[in-house]
Amino acid sequence: MGFVVLICDDDPDIRSVMRRTLRGYEIVEAGSPREALDAMKTRQFDAVVSDYSMDSDADGLDLLQLVKVQQPSTIRFLVTANRDIDVVVRAVNEGAVHRYFLKPWNDEKLRSALEILLHSRGGS
């Protein structure tokens, strides 16, 4: 599988767990939206999986909106412990995310959703 996935979360333990969930993919980690955007300057990603709440000036949804503009074919997943319905509504209404997962996520569901989307994009 030649897919490259960017994981953005300010918690290194969560990035580590997500890396395990997505074993088999090439993983690039970012600890903040700024780091993620810097990584996007140098390469194209097949998917970005971002936490919603981070200790930074931007949240994961802001990041995924920028990903949508800069790399529109990139699959965008939002993962969050935030059960606030407004976050979900904003994510869906703004079209910034393909899928939304609550922490703790189900490994199988997250993996299979990602695989289906990656393979249905066509061309890859």
CA distance 37 to 71: 11
CA distance 5 to 19: 9
Whether this model's pTM surpasses 0.95: no
pLDDT at 123 over 80: no
In CATH terms, the fold of domain 4-120 is Rossmann fold (3.40.50)
Per-domain residue ranges of the chain: 4-120
Say what the pLDDT of residue 20 is: 97
Q: Long-range contacts: 8-17, Cβ < 8 Å, 24+?
A: 8/32, 8/33, 8/35, 8/36, 8/48, 8/49, 8/50, 8/51, 8/54, 8/60, 8/63, 9/50, 9/51, 9/54, 9/79, 10/51, 10/54, 10/55, 10/56, 11/51, 14/51, 14/103
Q: Residue 15 is encoded by which pair of tokens? A: 């990035």
* Average of per-residue pLDDT values in the chain: 92
pLDDT at 86 over 80: yes
The tens digit of pLDDT for each residue in 88-122 reads 888 888 889 999 999 999 999 999 999 999 999 86
Q: What is the mean pLDDT of residues 9-25?
A: 96
Reported as a pLDDT band with limits 50, 70 and 90, residue 1 is low
